[in-house]
Amino acid sequence: MSNSIESAYSLAKERYAELGVDTDAVLDRLRSIPISLHCWQGDDVTGFEPAGIALGDGLAVTGKYPGKARTPDELRADLEKAYSLIPGKHRLNLHALYGEFGGEKVDRNQIELKHFQGWIDWAKAQGLGLDFNASFFSHPKSADGFTLANADEAIREFWIEHGIRCRQIGAAMGEELGSPCVMNVWAPDGYKDTPADRKAPRERFVAALDRIFAEKLDRAHILDALECKLFGIGSECYVVGSHEVCMGYAVSRQTLLCLDAGHFHPMEVISDKISSVLQYVPELLLHVSRGVRWDSDHVVTLSDELQAIACELVRGEFLDRTHIGLDYFDASINRVAAWVIGTRNMIKALMIALLEPGVKLKSIEAAGDLTGRLAMMEDLKVMPFGAVWEYYCRQNDVPAGQCWLSQVRQYEQEVQSKR
Ligand code: RNT
Ligand code: ZN
C-alpha cells in the first residue's frame, strides 16, 4: 500500500478516535454491506429476448454512448470489470428479460429456471448473490399501459403467470446461492389522462398481486418486494401502484416495500420514509437512484440525499432490514463507469454514515442542545473521510482515487469499442 494513503489513514484514524469512532471497526462493518448492482445499466434496459421491443411503459434511456453489451457474456464481462473496481462483495439484480433464451421465442409466461442457470452458475463462481425482478414492460401485452390491472382477463392472467414464475425462479436462485433473493414487482399500469375509474384497476391489481404471492415460499430463499411510483411518462395522471396502494399491500401482507428515490414528488425524499415505513413493514428494498426534475434515473452521485439515506440506515440501525439496490440508466457515458461511479458513491455514503459519532449526536439532541447538534453535523462534513475511503479501496485491492477510470478506459479501448 502506498505510504501516503497509509499515513493519511493513520492521521484520519486519530481524528475519528477523538470523536470516539473506531475507523477499523467501521471498515469491517462496511465490508459486510452488499449493494445490488442493476444489470440493466449495462445495456439500457434492453435484455435478451429475441423479439425484444423498444423500451417504454414509463421508462426512458437517453444517450448513444457506444459499446453497450449485446449478449449475456458481454454483460457479464462488463459486470466483472465493474465489480473489480468496487470495494467489497456485492450482488447482481437481474430482470426477467435478461434470461438466456438462445434465440428461442420464450414469452414472459413461459420463462423457466433453465433460462437463468447461466447467471446462477456465473454468480456462484463470482461469489455474488442474485436478486430478481419480474418484467412487466417492453412487451406487446403492456402496449395499452396496463398489465396486472388490465381489464382484459386473458392479459391479466398472462402477467400473473409471469409473476408466479419469477417468484419460483427467484426462490431457486436464492436456494442455489445460499442467500435470499429479493424478487421485486414493479408494474407500470396507469393512464396518461384523468381516469373516470380509479378504483377498479386498483382492485384488479391487488387481486393479481395476491395470486402472484399466493404460493408460500421459504423466506430463506426469496423475499417478495413491491415497488410504488407516483407517475411515469405516459402515466402522468394516474398510476395504479401508488405509494398508498403498495404500502397498504406490503403492510397487510407483510412483504417488503421497495422505495425508489425517483418515484415521489421531487420535494419528497425517501430518507424520511425509511424510519416511517419500517414501523410497519418487515424489511425494505431500496432502489437508489437520482431523479433530476423527474424520475430521470441519473447516475447516483454523493448528494445530500444519498448521505441522508445512508445516515438513516445507520442511525436507525436498519441495515439488517434493508436491501440496497441501485436503479438508474445512463447511456450518455461509459456504462461500466456508470456502475462504478454510482456504486462507489453508495459505499462512500455508507462509510461516511458509519463514521458518524452516532451516540454522541443523539445524546446532544436528547439533552435539547439543538445548537450543538447543528454545529456537530456541519463540522462532521469536513472530517477526513476521503483518507478513510482511499485506505478502504486499497485494503480491498481496488484502485483508490481516480485510477479506476484508466482501467475502464483501457477496457473500453480493448473490449467495448470493438462491439
Ligand atoms: C421504474 C422502476 C423500476 C425499473 C426497473 C427497470 O420506474 O423504477 O424499478 O426502473 O425495474
Ligand atoms: Zn426502481
198 belongs to a structural domain: yes
Q: Is 327 annotated as catalytic?
A: yes
338 belongs to a structural domain: yes
183, 223 contact by CB (below 8 A): yes
Q: Which ligand is nearest to the CA of 232?
A: 1
249 belongs to a structural domain: yes
Ligand 1 centre to CA of 186 (Å) is 7
Residue 376's contacts (CB-CB under 8 Å, 6 or more residues apart) are 357, 360, 361, 364
pLDDT at 401: 87
Look up residue 222 and give its DSSP letter. E
Q: What angle, 0 to 180 degrees and rounded to 10, lies between the N-to-C axes of helices 72-83 and 117-126?
A: 20
Q: Is 78 annotated as catalytic?
A: no
pTM above 0.95, yes or no: yes
- Cα-to-chain-centroid distance, residue 338: 14
Cell 414501523 sits on residue: 279
pLDDT at 251: 98
347, 306 contact by CB (below 8 A): no
149, 199 contact by CB (below 8 A): no
73 belongs to a structural domain: yes
Mean pLDDT of 348-374: 98
pLDDT at 58: 84
Give me the residues paired with residue 64 across strands. Answer: none
Q: Is 297 annotated as catalytic?
A: yes
With the most atoms of ligand 1 within 8 angstroms of its CB, the residue from 36, 41, 45, 59 to mutate is: 59
Mean pLDDT of 94-114: 96
Closest CA to 148 of 132, 134, 128: 134
Rounded to the nearest 5°, which phi and psi values hold at 370? Answer: -75, -25
Q: What is the pLDDT of residues 32-79, one digit of tens each?
A: 999 999 999 999 999 999 877 888 888 889 999 999 999 999 999 999
Q: Which candidate in 40, 159, 186, 389 is catalytic?
A: 186
Q: Is 381 annotated as catalytic?
A: no
- Cα-to-chain-centroid distance, residue 62: 19
pLDDT at 51: 77
Ligand 1 centre to CA of 233 (Å) is 12
Mean pLDDT of 179-186: 98
325, 289 contact by CB (below 8 A): no
pLDDT above 70 (res 1): no
Ligand 1 pocket member 78 (CB < 6 A): no
Closest CA to 390 of 9, 82, 7: 9
Ligand 1 centre to CA of 45 (Å) is 9
Q: What is the pLDDT of residues 267-288, one digit of tens each?
A: 999 999 999 999 999 999 999 9
16 belongs to a structural domain: no
Q: Hey, how many other C-beta atoms are within 10 angstroms of the C-beta on 327?
A: 27
Mean pLDDT of 249-275: 97
- Which is the closest atom of ligand 1 to the Cα of 229? 7
pLDDT at 186: 98
53: domain CATH number?
Answer: 3.20.20.150
pLDDT above 60 (res 386): yes
**Mean predicted lDDT score pLDDT of the chain:** 97
Mean pLDDT of 370-381: 98
Mean pLDDT of 377-388: 98
Ligand 1 pocket member 133 (CB < 6 A): yes
- pLDDT cut 90: percent of the chain above it: 96
pLDDT at 219: 98
Domain that holds residue 353: 33-357
How far is the C-alpha of 329 from the C-alpha of 274, rounded, in Å? 24
Ligand 1 pocket member 285 (CB < 6 A): no
Q: What is the pLDDT of residues 223-248, one digit of tens each?
A: 999 999 999 999 999 999 999 999 99
How far is the C-alpha of 291 from the C-alpha of 346, rounded, in Å? 15
Q: Which ligand is nearest to the CA of 241?
A: 1
Strands 238-239 and 190-191: antiparallel
Q: Which ligand is nearest to the CA of 55?
A: 1
Look up residue 381 and give its DSSP letter. T
317 belongs to a structural domain: yes
How far is the C-alpha of 61 from the C-alpha of 331, rounded, in Å? 7
pLDDT at 357: 98
pLDDT above 60 (res 406): yes
| Residue located nearest, by CA, to atom 5 of ligand 1 | 327
How far is the C-alpha of 90 from the C-alpha of 232, rounded, in Å? 29
82 belongs to a structural domain: yes
Higher model confidence: residue 2 or residue 119? 119
Q: Which candidate in 283, 327, 330, 390 is catalytic?
A: 327
N-terminal to C-terminal alpha carbon distance within the chain = 36
Ligand 1 pocket member 412 (CB < 6 A): no
307 belongs to a structural domain: yes
Cell of 377: 453535523
Which residues, chain by chain, have CB under 5 Å from ion ligand 2? 260, 287, 327
Residue 294: which pLDDT band, with cuts at 50, 70 and 90? very high
* Counted domains in the chain: 1
Q: What is the pLDDT of residues 125-166, one digit of tens each?
A: 999 999 999 999 999 999 999 999 999 999 999 999 999 999
With the most atoms of ligand 1 within 8 angstroms of its CB, the residue from 45, 137, 227, 264 to mutate is: 227
Mean pLDDT of 284-310: 97
Q: Which candidate in 260, 283, 305, 390 is catalytic?
A: 260
pLDDT at 125: 98
| Residue located nearest, by CA, to atom 2 of ligand 1 | 186
